[in-house]
Amino acid sequence: MRGANWPITGLMMTAALVLGCSDDKGSEVGESAETGEEQGETSGETGAWEFDDIIGIINADDDDESGKRDWNKTPYEDDDDLVMWTMPTEVFTNFAEGDTVELSLIGDDLERIRMWHGMSSTIALGHDVSEVHETYNFEPSGETETFYVEFDDYKRSYTIAVSHLDADGAVVDSVEISAMSAPLLLNHHLQPAEHVWAVVVGSNPDFIASYYQNLGDRFTGVAGDSVGSDVWIQDEIEFATATAPGDYRTDIIIDSIRDRGLDNFPDQIVEPGRFKQTWGVEGTETTYDSFGNLEATPPITVDGVEYPFGRIYYGKTEFEGLNDVLAQFLGQMSVQAPVELDTTWLCVGHVDEFSSFVPDPSSAKGFKALLADVDSAWDLLESMDPSTSLPRYASGHGYATVGDIVNDQELRALNQEIMNDEMDPIIAQFKTEFGLSEDDIIRIPTLFEEVNGCGGRVVALMPGMVNLIVANFEGETSKLFIPDPFLRTDDGDQASDPLLNAFAELMPEGNESIFVDNWQTYHLALGEVHCGTNVTRTPIANWWEVAAHLL
């Protein structure tokens, strides 16, 4: 939580004394990373000229809710994204009269960092309104000197040279420290859920009721008339975080360039500690810029390389994909090393149409990958009484009975082609790129069909059950919200649905399967549960400790 004090252990520790890192601007940090000594005690000779590295987060939110980004303001007490860095009295013990301190900033894009001397409006280093300050000199007051450091971008690295100069300007002692801002990290399904959102419209009351019934006030139904009845809340935004030692955290709403009804929704949930940001230009979007097409795996190890925050993956075609601005930015973050998948064969083209991940506490990896599988769908359908009537499929897809589906040879040939030419290569790519074995995969019965206006590309015939939401609140059984397949005669009798039962039995222990009616509003509009829901999550692990090898 915010407000805690923490001793920073940097990526490239230079030593033993005193970096202060706190959300409380008036307090100082107690322990040296290497010696464990209290702040204010020297290590070795009096006046040891050694300091820890600086790690911080982007300061782009609006903590005082003034309508301006905090980066565009001078320091103030309520800004909890400034990293405090101190030079205690003890380091000046051997200073003679006229001795000074010089700070020098080294690196590229120096306009993306600032160092303030105390809470004044004086910028010591970095970007001012009119210029970039690369050096700063001051004469110590005899008291602890306090600085605040802030960043205006992700994953920026700088060097700060800290020099003790005598009265003639000669260097008595000097040391270099590192200053680095956190990378942006996309959330994945093993991170604990914090809150869930979906859009309320006239046609989805049962869908919304399922969330309220199971999540209570941890779910918010967004008024449809406030967002132009645009229900595709997963496509509009992607949640990400940036963190630093000392419980520094900011949440980023990645706002898609899709310019539809939900375009104003991020403004409804912006708050101190959470801001929105867009990569790319509105008006240039394709379907691949919607964020059902932007996912991250749980933590994985691939060919001996650990990815403690998983890997990003998204779909593309030969000519279209995630816009270059966002794709390049995500690649530059490096910690989640993105993977591209060919989704040319899908009408909508999103990776959530054939894949997801669910927690599995009994697995060594902690998860199972859910991947669409045609063969198991045919096996299940062929085990059913062919005369079973399917009212939902009769009106929505033109199949009145199970036998009508099973006996459609054109449909069978289409799905076999999809499995052989599309899904099998994707499953192989999942194994290679994400370090998975067959034991890590649960194959979910799925059939696809062609629809008008998609040029032979396909969508889910049976509601795509991999297209789900994981609501895994801390200390509770994980709740999986899954599209109800309605592969039965009686809509109200879920117990009679063999596909629903088969899916629930396939799920690892520790997960509760909740099947929701997304048929009318989502499925028939070429989407499912995941497309119409979004979740904020708690960041886990410390990137500066566990992901340094990826930076």
Q: What pLDDT sits at residue 44?
A: 30
Mean pLDDT of 407-433: 98
Residue 78: the pLDDT is 92
Cβ neighbours of residue 133 closer than 8 Å, sequence gap 6 or more:
105, 123, 124, 125, 126, 127
Q: Give the CATH number of domain 185-550.
A: 3.75.10.10
Q: Is residue 7 predicted with pLDDT exceeding 70?
A: no
Please give the Cα distance from 162 to 287 (Å, whole number). 50
pLDDT > 50? residue 209: yes
pLDDT band at 48; cut points 50, 70, 90: confident
Sheet strands (E) in 386-543: 441-445, 448-450, 458-460, 469-471, 478-483, 511-516, 533-537
CA 355 vs CA 304, 351, 465: distances in Å: 24, 6, 9
Question: What gap in Å lies between CA 202 and CA 204, rounded to an integer?
Answer: 6
pLDDT at 34 over 50: no
Establish whether 531 is a catalytic residue.
yes
How much of the chain exceeds pLDDT 90, in percent? 88
User: What pLDDT sits at residue 378?
Assistant: 98
The predicted pLDDT at position 46 comes to: 38
With CA atoms as reference, report the closest residue to 14 among 217, 129, 175. Answer: 175
Helix axes 374-382, 409-418, angle to 10 degrees: 150
CA distance 72 to 203: 44
Count of positions (residues) in the chain: 551
Provide the strand spans (E) within 343-426: 355-359, 367-373
Residue 133 burial (CB < 10 Å; 0-12/13-18/19+)? middle
Name residues whose C-beta falls within 8 Å of residue 439's C-beta, 6 or more positions apart in sequence: none
Q: Where are the beta strands (DSSP E) in 83-209?
A: 83-87, 100-106, 113-117, 123-127, 132-133, 135-138, 145-151, 157-165, 171-181, 185-186, 193-200
CB 59 within 8 A of CB 75: no
Q: Give how far Cα 119 sits from Cα of 73, 111, 142, Å.
A: 11, 19, 18
Specify the higher pLDDT residue, 45 or 480.
480
Q: Is the pLDDT confidence value at 10 over 80?
A: no
- For residue 358 the two structure tokens come to 């669910």
User: Which among 426, 437, 294, 296 has a CA at the least distance from the CA of 365?
Assistant: 437
- pTM for the complete prediction? 0.90
Q: Is the pLDDT of residue 264 over 60?
A: yes
> Averaged over 439-450, what is the pLDDT?
98
* Domain regions of the chain by residue span: 54-181, 185-550
Instruction: Name the burial class of residue 206, with classes exposed (0-12), middle (13-18) and buried (19+) by CB atoms within 10 angstroms of its CB.
Output: middle
Q: In what order do the strands lie in the sheet with 135-138?
A: 54-56, 171-181, 157-165, 100-106, 135-138
Give CA–CA dist 248/80, Å, rounded: 8
Amino acid at 56: G
**Active-site option among 21, 347, 454, 531:** 531
Whole-number average pLDDT of the chain: 91
Model pLDDT, residue 47? 52
Comparing 119 with 215, the larger pLDDT belongs to 215
What are residue 439's DSSP bridge partners? none
Q: Output DSSP code: residue 488.
A: S
Mean pLDDT of 321-335: 98
Provide the pLDDT for residue 130.
Answer: 85
Name the band, by pLDDT with cuts 50, 70 and 90, for residue 188. Answer: very high
Instruction: Please enumerate in sequence order all residues whose Cβ is within 8 A of that of 509, keeping only pairs 6 or more positions apart, or say none.
Output: 361, 362
pLDDT digits (tens, 9 = 90+) for 477-531: 999 999 999 999 999 999 999 999 999 999 999 999 999 999 999 999 999 999 9
CA distance 336 to 330: 8
Two tokens, residue 475: 């200390």
CA distance 375 to 355: 16
Average the pLDDT over 47-71 and give the result. Answer: 92
H or E, element range at 238: strand 237-244
Architecture category of domain 54-181 in CATH: Sandwich (2.60)
